[in-house]
Amino acid sequence: MGFLPVTREDMAAQGIEQLDFVYVIGDAYVDHPSFGYAVISRVLQAHGYSVGIISQPDWREENSIAILGRPRLAFLVSGGNMDSMVNHYYVSGRRRPNDAYTPGGEPYHRPDHAVVVYGNLIRRVYRDVPVILGGIEASLRRMAHYDYWSDSFKRSVLLDSQADLISYGMGEKSIVEIADALNSGIAVQDITFIAGTVYKTRQIENVYDGEALPSYEAMKADRARYAESFWIQYCNTDPCTDRTLTEEYPDGVYVVQNPPSAPLTTQEMDDIYELPYMRTYHPSYEEKGGVPAIAEVKFSLVSSRGCFGGCNFCALTFHQGRIVQVRSHDSIVREAERMTHDPAFKGYIHDVGGPTANFRHPSCAKQLRQGVCRDRQCLFPEPCPNLTVDHSDYLTLLRRLRALPGVKKVFVRSGIRFDYLMADRDDTFFRELVEYHVSGQLKVAPEHISDAVLNRLGKPKKEVYDRFVRKYDRINEQLGKKQFLVPYLISSHPGSTLKEAVELAEYVRDLGYMPEQVQDFYPTPSTLSTVMYYTGIDPRDGKPVYVCRDPHEKAMQRALIQYRDPKNYDLVREALLKSGRGDLIGFDSKCLIRPRKMAADRKKMQNEGNPAYRSGRGKTKKRTIRNVHKKK
């Protein structure tokens, strides 16, 4: 079938005089089902609509938005596979040097706050053409939200972009309904009835059975009101039970969020993933070496979407919902078989998973009938008694895949929820995971080891992870394998003081190595953790939370986890002294760093609580330090 048109010449070659939709995207054009705009475009095409792609237009040049002409029905806008601000900046605010979603990895080919900029660009050129936002950036900024990069409280992107609608979440169903409504002649301002959409209105009396959120002005004036609002939104991510939400702005404008779209059936998932994608980047990018992001997904398989894990720092619940939806084994196997005929395929399937690899069914039987629970999580703080724990379906799928001719190894890299794995009384999957699907290292995400911080993260207690580690080691030993765990860790998450950061450093010390996977907490839009960061309140219970906002303290918390790196010495030393843990500076095996500038250290340790001095051993310690200094 070929790529979707990106030029007028492509349109002519495909017999298209005027496109139904022009899709403006912040990424390079990659026609692969791991890229949301590719899925939406192919779904529309399957329903008889023509779609053209304008990739990374020059937002400073109005003509860049007109290269495919005026669309018959609407412009679609997506910032890309990532929020444009996350794509551009590290948590420190420093600019990232490359962009994996741009040809050759070149940076700076999209604007900050891309959907807002693109929306306004379209409005300047085509004032009366409907503009519909979609993708992760619009979805997570669909209502008033905190923006970390400007440290400000922003309006819904629907208003700031001058768009007409947002198709939020996984928009395959809503975009087809929008297209059909527009095609039937319904004015875009009258499309107020589609699940999975957000619209604006001045006629709030026409909203049936809506629940009013605190107004934008009230939230801007009082951060506690924003915490209250977000919790209502967070509890309204279920299509079975959710209500319409309304958010008032000045001058009588309301932003209205309809309930989410219904989850996809397995047949619908199969149909979407078997559309005629080209499964690679547009050939025009070849001279720059292609698009780096394709490398991660080209030989990976999506088996599911949705997540009932409920991690507070993750936006998946807000975007995809808690109901897990899956593809059939046959569909996934067919895709894998196609992979084996690719000349670049070397026999390795890089991943089989989704948001959480080992979730292959809804968390309990009642979810599809009554919706998800509003008053409890499936896994946190402990697994729900109603939770269905069963890895047999996923195990059967992996067995079929690794038995395919031409497949040497099938890896699981998209993340294993270890607490769900530990809740399974049958060890068969765990053993086969270790035996066949680990590439020497298994990545897992305990995130922290302080139970106080884990509570704010929405993660299980440390004891659960410790049991998982012991079992993983035991199974490896039984199988005669030497494979390791790579734990993902987060520093300076809300709730983490220097005290908890030192606890984490001591845990890393006892592991015997310095982890490379350390993420300083990044307040991205529409997560519970970001709301905690901005408001200082945990929306779940309304209680205050310690928040580390000082860049220097954030640097200390991160440095503690990587205390063995010589460049972190001064930060680690300062953190230990500030937290009253000078006992971890010394020559004992339990110490994190050795003393430097001995006299100054002795005085600081005396003043700031070294137990050696408090217990009366100061003179002995002093002689020891002097003797060591002489030996040097």
The domains of the chain are located at: 8-194
> Which letter does DSSP use for residue 415 in this model?
-
What is the 3 state secondary structure string of 537-598? EECCCCEECCCCCCHHHHHHHHHHHCCCCHHHHHHHHHHHHHCCCHHHECCCCCCCECCCCH
Average of pLDDT values for 163-191?
A: 97
Reading the block at residue 586, the tokens are 């010394």
> Which letter does DSSP use for residue 458 in this model?
T
Q: Give the chain's radius of gyration (CA, Å).
A: 26
For residue 626, the model assigns a pLDDT of: 34
To the question of pTM greater than 0.75 for the whole model, the response is yes
Q: Using the predicted structure, report yes or no on whether residue 610 has a pLDDT greater than 60.
A: no
Instruction: Tell me the helix, strand and coil percentages in the chain, rounded to 5.
Output: 40, 15, 45
Average of pLDDT values for 473-481?
A: 96
Which residues on adjacent β-strands are paired with residue 301?
352
**pLDDT, tens digit, 9 for 90 and up, residues 385-432:** 999 999 999 999 999 999 999 999 999 988 899 999 999 999 999 999
Cα 409 to Cα 402: distance, rounded to the nearest angstrom: 6
- Between 506 and 238, name the one with better pLDDT: 506
Reading the block at residue 423, the tokens are 């809740």
For residue 608, the model assigns a pLDDT of: 58
Tell the CATH superfamily of the 8-194 domain.
Answer: Response regulator (3.40.50.2300)
For residue 439, the model assigns a pLDDT of: 86
**pLDDT, tens digit, 9 for 90 and up, residues 549-564:** 999 999 999 999 999 9
**Sorting pLDDT into bands at 50, 70 and 90, what band is 111?**
very high
For residue 511, the model assigns a pLDDT of: 84
Mean pLDDT in the chain? 92
For residue 240, the model assigns a pLDDT of: 87
For residue 625, the model assigns a pLDDT of: 34
User: In this structure, how many other beta carbons lie within 10 angstroms of the beta carbon of residue 345?
Assistant: 17
**pLDDT, tens digit, 9 for 90 and up, residues 319-349:** 898 999 999 999 999 999 999 999 999 999 9
Cα 246 to Cα 511: distance, rounded to the nearest angstrom: 49
Q: Using the predicted structure, report yes or no on whether residue 298 has a pLDDT greater than 50.
A: yes
Q: Using the predicted structure, report yes or no on whether residue 21 has a pLDDT greater than 70.
A: yes
For residue 5, the model assigns a pLDDT of: 98
Report strand pairing: 74-78 vs 21-25: parallel
- Is the peptide bond preceding residue 381 cis, with omega within 30 degrees of 0? yes
Written as one string, the DSSP assignment of 498-544 is HHHHHHHHHHHHHHTS--S-EEE----TT-HHHHHHHHSEETTTTEE
Q: Using the predicted structure, report yes or no on whether residue 368 has a pLDDT greater than 90.
A: no
Cα 526 to Cα 168: distance, rounded to the nearest angstrom: 13
**pLDDT, tens digit, 9 for 90 and up, residues 197-247:** 999 999 999 998 899 999 999 999 999 999 999 999 999 988 888 899 999
For residue 627, the model assigns a pLDDT of: 36
CA 242 from centre of chain: 23
Task: Tell the residue number behind the tokens 């217990």, with chain if given.
Answer: 615
